[in-house]
Amino acid sequence: MMNRTLSRARRAGAVTALALSLAMLTGCASSPETSPEVSEARKNLQELKNDANLAGRARVETREAEKAVVLAEESLAASDAELAKHRMYMANQKVEIARAKARTDYLEEQRQRLAEEREAERLANRTDEADRARSEAAELQRRMDARDIAEDEREAERLAQRADEANQARSDKAELQRRIDELQAESTERGIVLTLGDVLFTTGSAELQRGGYENLNRLVAFLEAYPERDALIEGHTDSVGATDSNDRLSKRRADSVQSYLVRSGIDRQRLSTSGKGESQPVATNDTAAGRERNRRVEIIIENPQ
């Protein structure tokens, strides 16, 4: 009884072992079964492929992911749940790797674009700066031109003033000339020479005659008008009579004119006198007309120093 029981037990053990080995064999084969998470990996892969920014990038990784997804989609027996889970994990990871690589690629391309944009902006900035510099230069030029105009105006003013001065000088000169003409004098290198004829004096006398006053008064007016001018009064005679007495006479006549002028208000300091006698004739002494011309008083009004 015991033996039989034992033998049955052994037989059962053998059967179990056989059954187990059979189960093992079928375990290596496959039976239809789908995992919902596999379709998740497929969905992610599809999403990556449809992403406008990422599609067509990271081709190698995407192909790897594709293969992994296909592998994970293969049906496995329920007993191979661990393997199915593993394949699913691998597929998901590979899809995510492909996505990350595609994103990196996209970002690097964006960076390139950014760099180009920035360069363009910098260029635009520089162009702006150049424009500004140009307009500043134009402004500066404008100001300089304005200053030039002001300068020109000042110069014109200076010129006008100088012209005025010249005009003034010319009119002064004209005035002088008019007065010289009035004096019936003439301009020479020594100065303005006024010759008073012998009508001023009676023969042999140094007394002034009334008829010469008019000429002398004009001389006074002239000397008053030109206070910076000194006058040299020279007496001259003809050759009649002794030289000594002629010299003295000519000196006295010069002094007489000087006295008159001083009496008329001219500073004596401005008036020097000399008697030249018969030494400087202006005409022949052989004729009466010549001698008359030689008897004279010359007043030389010196040009201002």
Partner 1 sequence: MKNRDGTPLTRAVLLSAVLMAGLLLGACATKPMDPPESLGQARDAIARAEQSDSREYAGSELDAAKQKLEMAETAADEQDMAEAERLAQEALIAAELALARTTAAKAEEVNREMERGAEALTDEMRRKEEQR
Instruction: Please give the residue ranges that form the binding site for partner 1 (CB under 8 A).
Output: 3, 6-7, 10-11, 13-14, 17-18, 20-21, 24-25, 27-28, 82-83, 86, 89-90, 93-94, 96-97, 100-101, 103-104, 107-108, 110-111, 114-115, 117-118, 121-122, 125, 128, 132
Is the CB of 28 or the CB of 52 nearer to partner 1?
28
Q: How far is CA 174 from CA 182, 185, 226, in A?
A: 12, 14, 14
Rounded to a whole number of angstroms, the minimum distance from the CB of residue 34 to partner 1 is 20
**For 65, phi and psi rounded to 5 degrees?**
-65, -40
Residues contacting 289, CB < 8 A, separation 6+: 283
At 223, the amino acid letter reads L
Q: What is the DSSP string of 58-122?
A: SHHHHHHHHHHHHHHHS---GGGHHHHHHHHHHHHHHHHHHHHHHHHHHHHHHHHHHHHHHHHHH
The answer to whether the CB of 208 falls within 8 A of the CB of 256 is yes
Is the CB of 7 or the CB of 187 nearer to partner 1?
7
Rounded to a whole number of angstroms, the minimum distance from the CB of residue 126 to partner 1 is 11
Is the CB of 102 or the CB of 216 nearer to partner 1?
102
Is the CB of 59 or the CB of 86 nearer to partner 1?
86
Q: What is the CA radius of gyration of the chain?
A: 69
Rounded to a whole number of angstroms, the minimum distance from the CB of residue 144 to partner 1 is 21
Rounded to a whole number of angstroms, the minimum distance from the CB of residue 68 to partner 1 is 9
- Tokens 């790797």 -> residue: 97
Rounded to a whole number of angstroms, the minimum distance from the CB of residue 48 to partner 1 is 13
Rounded to a whole number of angstroms, the minimum distance from the CB of residue 62 to partner 1 is 12
Is the CB of 54 or the CB of 183 nearer to partner 1?
54
Is the CB of 11 or the CB of 142 nearer to partner 1?
11
Q: How far is CA 187 from CA 108, 207, 254, in A?
A: 103, 28, 20
